[in-house]
Amino acid sequence: MKGRQILLDHIDGREAAALMVDGHLDDLLIDADAPRPGTIYRAVTDRPVKGQGGIFLKTPDGSAYLRGVKGIGQGEELRVQVTGYAEPGKAIPVTHKILFKSRYAIVTPDAPGLNLSRSIRDDDVRDALLALAHDGMDGSPMGLILRSASAEADLEDVAEDITAMRDLAEAVMGDTGQAPETLSEGDGPHTLAWRDWVAPAQVVTEPGCFEAQGVLDAVDAARGAYVALGGDASMMVEATRALVAVDVNTGSDGSFAAGTRANLACARMLLSALRVRGLGGQITIDLAPMPKKERKTFEAVLRAALRQDDIDTVMAGWTPLGHFELQRKRARIPLSQVLP
């Protein structure tokens, strides 16, 4: 099926959301047993990690780890937010820079000021949104960012979103408790789909839509490493304990440009393959043979794909062996852990 579809359903009793683009599974969100990113805790400091500038915290969901802190002693109370999923056997990653994020508005308690997304360039739209921001945050010391989706939204909806996020922020930041407690749960897959998948799409919510629209078959395929790249080319995306290894193959195509074509297809499809499989961390790509002069083209195509992706990813560059490396935030839990 051509076009974009957002499908909301369940897999094995877990809430899930799928983004299909031209019949291809482009993104997948599945609820897990681990704390959701965005969850806010009242935590109590436990013990510092000397030499690493971090400290362990006690939370209702177990031990958490906060980086980049100084001058905090044991037994102090902090409000922190979950930033991603922990690797097996490790503490929950958290930050003390808390954000309250919705479809149109982001309230920033520690960063005052009213700002709009840089992608909103129409002066009339910017003026109208800034007026809403001033009205919605009047009397508050907290900051506000209006996201790009607000440019196409009804102003009343944006105003309601600002109010909802401000009310939540004031309730959480005004908390005066002392024991470890969950102050706000992170968003589930259905809410995340509404919040972050803002491009026009057909939304399907009927129970069983995953099976009817081929999502379950695509999820089964994603449990394996194989990803077709068009023609006879393919890549294998495999998670090891240390890193994610990507191997690009040209198949039976022995032409001079086969390697370049396969590598550029990899650059376009890699991020989707990683999102669906829930993979992050260190990523090493063993590309098919291609002339060195084509490396800049590969980087440009990959960079363009990254601009459409909302997970923090750093292009680390080329290794002496000709591999290309990425460092990607662990924003998803691996599919193999959610659906073993």
Q: What residues contact 2, with CB distance under 8 A and at least 6 apart? A: 22, 23
**Mean pLDDT, range 222-251, rounded to an integer:** 95
Q: Give pLDDT tens digits for 139-164.
A: 999 999 999 999 999 999 999 999 99
Domain boundaries 40-97, corresponding CATH code: 2.40.50
The values of phi and psi at residue 158, to 5°, are -65, -45
Q: Give pLDDT tens digits for 262-302.
A: 999 999 999 999 999 999 999 999 999 999 999 999 999 99
Q: Which amino acid is at 78?
A: L
Mean pLDDT of the chain: 94
SS (H, E, C) the chain: CCCEEEEEEEECCEEEEEEEECCEEEEEEECCCCCCCCCEEEEEEEEEECCCCEEEEEECCEEEEEECCCCCCCCCEEEEEECCCCCCCCCEEEECCCCEECCCEEEECCCCCEEECCCCCCHHHHHHHHHHHHHHCCCCCCEEEECHHHHHCCHHHHHHHHHHHHHHHHHHHCCCCCCCEEEECCCCHHHHHHHHCCCCCEEECCCCHHHHCCHHHHHHHHCCCEEEEECCEEEEEEECCCCEEEEEECCCCCCCCHHHHHHHHHHHHHHHHHHHHCCCEEEEEECCCCCHHHHHHHHHHHHHHHHCCCCCEEEEEECCCCCEEEEECCCCCCHHHHCC
Q: State the pLDDT confidence band at 253, using cuts at 50, 70 and 90.
A: confident
Contact 19, 193 (CB under 8 A): yes
Q: Give pLDDT tens digits for 59-81.
A: 999 999 998 777 777 888 999 99
> Would you give the end-to-end CA distance of the chain in angstroms?
29
pTM assigned to the model: 0.90
d(CA 11, CA 51): 43
